[in-house]
Structure 1
């Protein structure tokens, strides 16, 4: 499978002048912290390390796409022939604004659909002219070994926020967003749909809780009036996310439901391969009330 994301409607190729605005913001940052050949030789002569990047910026060169991408099994995607109602439900359930679209299987991606395009074209119920193919946007394809700084620069140049990771056989190996890459430099980014920093959980309709994985376990136990860890485990776990990892012995994937022996269920709402982000907690007594 081949794909060339460049085209007449894309950002022009980089100019020879390194200060050209076409290089993009991230390109200039990346170059600013990349030593020249002469600097590398000088550092080598002095016995110093060839680069002195701050830890966050160093990730642009030392981390690969495969280090930050989510595996293919966790990708929320839709077939090109999906019905209008089903597409609305996927957007609603996943909370995603961009969804990869495939033909046949995910290994044959043909683009992505953006929630904004869907809403502008069809409003809140106009199905008469529904045509998913007409709304498709192009995708970027990246090999697992690509440095995240290179992909970040390419995304900024091509004005795309999502890339599929393609293995050596042309199959889809994972997915990465521009937010995933920027977080490796700046740290966790909370958007307008994330719970507030000082508000660890919100109560949803029906009595379930939408909670941050970093919610202090003691506070949440007090909220629901239930002990979730045994006394001998109290020193091992401090947060809801830590409790779920303790229950499973691993980092669960998005969409997975983890039962607790005492009755509550933890649904993984948002996660990446390294950490949990948001959970939906269903407590039987609360649901019954």
Structure 2
């Protein structure tokens, strides 16, 4: 070193600091790169992405290579800085060189390049892979020896370095990604994606048309009444039953009745011959499961039954699809807004038959959905009795006044959300 001029040593030191910055930025860029975007680019045969993915297949080897290079460069830089310090300042130059080199490495070889790599990992990782791949082959023996010792230590700690861990995303993590996608995914598409993820958390009874609201025709009624119901029904599929819904016969399609009418062949006998076989859905079936069952069975409508086989409601394929894309069909059932009426004092008159899920979605309230499915059911379960009008309760933090009770059901309540108190 004595034969090398101070100016040349400064140049070598600057080059070593640049090399240290390269290794530092490469490490951060490789570790910070988006693995899912990387896989997408690999599928598109992006050569840079393919190189980076091969390097990341064994992160222990990659990190070993980068750290070997970085430490060699930093140690050599320290030795050269010490020589320069002694030449310029004598014995005090060792301390001065140590302080100056530490500051230079922190600024130019650590903080700045790593911050840059964290902000733009692809722009750093892709070019770096051009040099890291051949370096990995050149330093294979050294990397193997270092990793052998390192992996041995990890095995003592019962850690398998070859196992990169499970990097699959959970549903909750997927929801977070969709939420944070921002402008990359339109808001409407975000809502649809989140609805798909939520299908497994919703059961058929949460969206079914309740038994009391099923529009059906009693085949034992007078023919004139049946004919009038057939011609005036707004539904394309109509349930036929004998005396009560529990004795359901099947569904008749409007197009079949129209065809028989045109041929003047419509009567009770031909009507019964045209019914479609009933499809029953067990209570508690998740919507994602039921959607697949509808698809496999080529069905569009089914009756929800409980554990005793009693009919609880009716679910259609349209109901399931609306959980994903929102309302898109014309229906005679009231909209949620029609069941909630805002008052001048800030309170809301709400019909007791409203679904808990619907009222939570419409008003962003927090009534529990793991019990009764309607507001009426929630109030009756809480009070364990049928209340009289003008009874007031605080239900799950919301002040509620019973306004109207009819046929043993709470028909109308007043909710005062601005007096809401969160339960502890």
The alignment's TM-score, normalised by the length of structure 2, stands at 0.36
- C-alpha separation between the residues in 2 aligned to 1:98 and 1:273? 25
For residue 131 of structure 1, give the secondary structure of its aligned residue in structure 2: helix
- C-alpha separation between the residues in 1 aligned to 2:242 and 2:278? 14
CA shift, 1:213, in A, is 6.8
CA shift, 1:87, in A, is 2.4
- Alignment-derived partner of residue 117 in structure 1: 256
1:217-260 CA distances to partner (integer Å, 9 max, x unpaired)?
A: 9xxxxxxxxxx987x34x556xxxxxxxx2x543469xxxxxxx
Q: Is 1:139–2:278 an aligned residue pair?
A: yes
Q: Is 1:162–2:301 an aligned residue pair?
A: yes
- Alignment-derived partner of residue 95 in structure 1: 234
- C-alpha separation between the residues in 2 aligned to 1:119 and 1:64? 35
Q: Identify the match of residue 189 of structure 1 among 325, 328, 350.
A: 328
1:136-170 CA distances to partner (integer Å, 9 max, x unpaired)?
A: 11121111111112212222232221100011111
Q: Structure 1 residues 145-154 or 99-108, which shifts more?
A: 99-108
Matches within 5 A, 1:73-92: 73-92=212-231
Q: Is the 8 A contact 1:144 1:167 kept in 2?
A: yes
- Alignment-derived partner of residue 155 in structure 2: none
Flag the structure with larger Rg: 2
- Alignment-derived partner of residue 250 in structure 1: 352
- C-alpha separation between the residues in 1 aligned to 2:335 and 2:259? 31
Structure 1 unaligned regions, length at least 5? 1-41, 195-210, 218-227, 238-245, 254-271, 275-289
- C-alpha separation between the residues in 1 aligned to 2:347 and 2:232? 33
Aligned pair in 2 of structure 1 residues 86, 174: CA closer, same or farther (>3 Å)?
same
- C-alpha separation between the residues in 2 aligned to 1:163 and 1:118? 20
For residue 175 of structure 1, give the secondary structure of its aligned residue in structure 2: strand
- Alignment-derived partner of residue 49 in structure 1: 170
For residue 303 of structure 2, give the secondary structure of its aligned residue in structure 1: strand
CA shift, 1:81, in A, is 3.1
- C-alpha separation between the residues in 2 aligned to 1:43 and 1:71? 49
CA shift, 1:103, in A, is 3.1
- Alignment-derived partner of residue 221 in structure 1: none
RMSD: 3.8
Q: Is the 8 A contact 2:171 2:197 kept in 1?
A: no
Q: Is the 8 A contact 2:280 2:303 kept in 1?
A: yes
Aligned pair in 2 of structure 1 residues 110, 128: CA closer, same or farther (>3 Å)?
closer
Q: Which structure exhibits the higher relative contact order, with contacts defined as CA atoms closer than 8 Å and separated by 6 or more residues?
A: 1
Q: Is the 8 A contact 1:80 1:102 kept in 2?
A: yes
Matches within 5 A, 1:19-30: none
- Alignment-derived partner of residue 107 in structure 1: 246
Aligned pair in 2 of structure 1 residues 59, 82: CA closer, same or farther (>3 Å)?
farther
Aligned pair in 2 of structure 1 residues 122, 55: CA closer, same or farther (>3 Å)?
same
Larger strand share, 1 or 2: 1
Larger helix share, 1 or 2: 2
